[in-house]
């Protein structure tokens, strides 16, 4: 099992659980794989659902089984009911396909459980942190969604997926997701075009960012996220080129808190050599500007994903002391080479 675990203690627990079928804390593994998918066209979105346990369980690590040559990205969504009773279904909601979840369309009806792209490696939670599913949560099922790059060759079936390393014992802290992003569009022939968003954090209980993940398509140069305190004190949560593996990276400032009244903000810096406007959307011809925050909290109630999406929003109209590095690749290993090579081959 090729899992890059954060700590040797957790690594030993997961390995022992896989071999022995569980420990005293109820550690076990659950694998979700596409059941022989055969995407019939490029940009296909296919879904497969797996029921979670009736009692609450906690995800402590994610082990992907996918290739960036086949999948543009892979998502795990939590649903009370899946969008179909079929073993596998077309879930291109914006193109007339079925829903991911049966309880409504759009982001409010689904919970983010995991996101993967660009051959990102495995990820594990810190010790004493777990993501709750099943039980009284809204995540009765997890839907595995694969966004395929191309139609597969004849007689080729795909089994991409994720192994969830889980435990039944309730950890000290609960993990959740806060997703920042933008709507809108990118003009043609622009360099360093900013797409920005920000929302006030209103929860009475502090949250503590563990990790972050950026997601854009071909035009993304760098994406950054911040906690803003007092409208002028900026603390970096994370900054990464979305052309690097789109994994969850450790938060830039370990142990930082987000308190009521703080603001969470994100910026995607885009460069377009295209002759037409590029809108926000699902396909490779579109763009996306997402900044995922994985956090932990001492809250014991069931969490739901938090969303902060803006359109035509500009930091400079609301805040002062914007960091100079918010659109910089400084300190991101190999990012300059990756972005340069990517844009040399993607002037479409």
According to the model, what pLDDT value does residue 44 have?
93
What integer pLDDT is reported at residue 283 of this predicted model?
78
Residue 72 annotated as binding site: yes
Distance CA 49, CA 133 (A): 14
Work out the burial of residue 6: count CB atoms within 10 Å of its CB; fewer than 13 is exposed, 13-18 middle, 19 or more buried. middle
Catalytic residue list: 72-73, 145, 147, 215, 217, 288
pLDDT for the residue 67:
93
48 is in an annotated binding site: no
Tell me the C-alpha distance between 273 and 339, whole Å.
13
Is 314 annotated to bind a ligand? Reply is: no
217 annotated as belonging to a binding site for a ligand: yes
| pLDDT for res 63 | 97
DSSP assignment letter at 82: B
Answer whether 137's CB lies under 8 Å from 54's CB: no
For residue range 183-241, list pLDDT tens digits in order. Answer: 999 999 999 999 999 999 999 999 999 999 999 999 999 999 999 999 899 999 999 99
Determine which helix (DSSP H) or strand (DSSP E) holds 175, and give its type and residue range: strand 173-182
The gap from C-alpha 345 to its chain's centroid, in whole angstroms, comes to 26
- Residues in the chain predicted with pLDDT less than 50, given as ranges, are 1-22, 105-106, 338-348
| 73 marked as binding residue | yes
Contact in structure between 78 and 111 (CB atoms under 8 Å): yes
Residue 2's pLDDT is: 36
Residue with the two structure tokens 């854009």: 216
Residue-level pLDDT at 335: 53
CB 178, CB 264: distance < 8 Å: yes
Q: Which two tokens stand for residue 206?
A: 């502090």
Which domains does the chain carry? 8-171 (2.60.120.310), 176-344 (2.60.120.230)
Indicate if the alpha-carbon torsion angle 5, 10, 14, 15 is positive or negative: positive
Annotated ligand binding at 65? The verdict is no
């Amino acid at each position: 099992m090729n899992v890059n675990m954060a700590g040797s203690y957790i690594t030993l627990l997961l390995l022992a659980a896989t071999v022995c079928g569980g420990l005293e804390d109820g550690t076990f593994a659950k694998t979700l794989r596409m059941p022989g998918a055969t995407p019939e066209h490029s940009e296909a979105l296919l879904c497969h659902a797996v029921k979670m346990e009736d009692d609450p369980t906690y995800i402590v690590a994610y082990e992907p089984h996918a290739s960036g040559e086949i999948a543009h990205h892979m998502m795990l969504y939590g649903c009370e009911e899946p969008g179909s009773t079929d073993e596998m279904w077309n879930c291109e909601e914006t193109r007339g396909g079925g829903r991911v979840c049966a309880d409504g369309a759009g982001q409010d009806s689904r919970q983010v459980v995991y996101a993967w792209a660009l051959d990102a490696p495995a990820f594990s939670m810190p010790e004493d942190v777990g993501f709750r599913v099943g039980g009284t949560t809204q995540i009765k099922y997890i839907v595995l969604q694969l966004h395929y790059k191309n139609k597969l060759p004849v007689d080729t079936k795909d089994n991409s997926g994720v192994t969830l390393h889980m435990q039944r014992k309730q950890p000290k802290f609960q993990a959740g997701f806060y997703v920042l992003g933008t709507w809108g569009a990118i003009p043609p022939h622009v360099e360093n075009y900013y797409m920005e968003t920000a929302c006030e954090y209103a929860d009475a209980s502090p949250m503590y960012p563990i990790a972050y993940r950026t997601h854009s398509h071909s035009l993304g140069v760098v994406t950054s996220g911040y906690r803003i305190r007092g409208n002028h004190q900026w603390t970096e949560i994370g900054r990464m080129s979305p052309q690097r593996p789109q994994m969850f990276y450790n938060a830039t400032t370990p142990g930082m808190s987000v308190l009521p009244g703080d603001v969470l903000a994100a910026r995607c810096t885009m460069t377009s050599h295209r002759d037409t406007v590029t809108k926000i959307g699902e396909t490779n011809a579109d763009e996306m500007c997402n900044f995922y925050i994985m956090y932990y909290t001492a809250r014991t109630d069931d969490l739901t994903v938090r969303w902060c999406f803006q359109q035509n929003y500009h930091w400079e109209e609301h805040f002062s002391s914007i960091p100079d590095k918010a659109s910089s690749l400084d300190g991101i290993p190999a990012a300059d080479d990756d972005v340069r090579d990517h844009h040399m081959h993607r002037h479409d």
